[in-house]
Structure 1
Amino acid sequence: MIVWQGPIATDNSGLSPIVMCDPASGTDFVIGITNVTCTAMDGFGNVNSCSFYVCVKDNEDPELESCLTDQIANTDFGQPTAMVIWEYPVATDNSGSSPTVFCDPASGTNFPIGHTLVTCNAFDGYGNNNSCSFNVVVHDNEDPVWVSCPANQTTNTDSGKPTTFIIWQIPIATDNSGVSLTVMCDPASGTDFVIGITNVTCTAVDEFRNVNNCSFYVDVKDVENPILSGMPDNLTKLSGHPNEPIAWIEPNATDNSGIVSLTSSHGTGDMFSLGVTLVTYTAVDPSGNMDTGTFAIEIIVLNMFKKYTVTFSSL
């Protein structure tokens, strides 16, 4: 609303002229330039006029009635980005015209993983503007993908050992983020693996702690026989009895596995009868590998009248 004084007019008649302005003082003037014409009229119909303009400028910024809260999204499948679309904030202006609203980056942009600040500006037709901002937060919840994982490994123990040294190529994994992954295997390549089946789990982790596993097994077989040592030589005993206890020093058995079971057909100190008896020792490891050894015990019985001799063939 614009209010002004005057204008003032005089007349030769001595009477005050009637003065009117169009638009009148106290009118609500719109934005822009409005011409005002004031007319003075005396009582005899004589008229004179003057004019001026009223220039109303809009220096008031638009109002943003709503600005978005932070937008949360997950990456598009297989991509390091997410296309995020939102409704533009609503803006009003004292001019009555709808302001133009722009956001940077714009709705529909592919946003990278992480936080991106978006600023929206509202412009009216007179160069006034207002802005608000929010964040687009893109999470990577996608697990890495295995390109290759080692095949199952089957091998034999190293000679004389209960283990074998296994090396494999590190498995390969990729991730939608495009960032290099941390790949670890447990047990690790280059480990000494024991006899039997050991499961190996390989884990790929991206920088956002998404995890994927692959697994295989290492099967270490023991095909190495135990070793018997210290087998007794063949024994011959002259006896005056048909049965005689015989004792000997028992052999030893060793195995690369470290575990061996030693059994025998006869024990030291057993009673042996007339003739030849074969004594057999058997060493067996947990994998069923074995070694055997034998020796012969010959009992010769002597009496006053006759010597009985039993001869055995060589083994």
Structure 2
Amino acid sequence: MALLEDGRLSDNRESWNHTQYLESPDFINCPMNMTVNTTTGEAFAINVTWVEPRATDNSGETAVPVADYTSGDNMFPIGDTTVQYNYNEDPIIKKCPNDTTVNTTNGLPTANVSWIEPTATDNSGTRFFINIITSGSIFQIGDSLVIYTAFDYPKINTAICSFIVTVEEDNRLVGVSTDEGSPNATVTWDPPLASDNSNATVTVVSSPFESGDMISIGTHTITFTATDSSGNFDTCEFNIKIEDQEAPDIINCPMDMTVNTATGEAFAINVTWVEPTATDNSGEII
């Protein structure tokens, strides 16, 4: 699998979804309770030493315990003091989204894709999320890798959740060129068939256009609504993209001209002609 610089995946990859979960480390040789004397002439003991405990983890990485007191570098007042060692666990990401495939929308080569954002917990109670791509982002056609990274503070233990968003071109999009000399296209289609369990007649209506209508340049969604005699209904839809592929026409293009130089000069100045005009079926000229 290859991750491109823009966060998209190279072609011919297998779809995958990954969430990192690690078991908690185990402490080894936790020190026993200790009783020590105060330092001479003081109401406290300093530089009390013990063998630091170690921790192992199933990942094979060394788990580093953290304590509020360090062996050999401390000061304890008279009385009981609890020395507690902790290890920082990696955060746990919950409900990582599954890989998803969507179609392009509105005739564009993109799709707006949303999902339920994952959550994270951590034994430290503090966790942060880093995610470059968020729910509701716009994706181009192809595969895009979305990564959520959760980390705690201050040890920066991390957990990763990732999934793939695949955008495919909407095959329901019908492209039609405008009629010659017109900003519209006359479009016809076969209406869908509808049936009902009552075997009664089902009325099918299309909106906002019907087959045979003149439709303007742009992308339009045609919705079919099938309704039975009881008022129950179902819908289906497809998109029509009307494209202007007709070139503008230039009118009154000037003919070749021959003029004299200006008196005493090697050039002609202030040569005039009638500016040409242009028309286009779309009604727009730039």
Q: TM bucket by the smaller chain?
A: 0.3 to 0.5
Q: 1 or 2, which has the higher strand percentage?
A: 1
More relative contact order, 1 or 2 (CA 8 Å, 6+ apart): 2
Q: Which has the larger radius of gyration?
A: 1
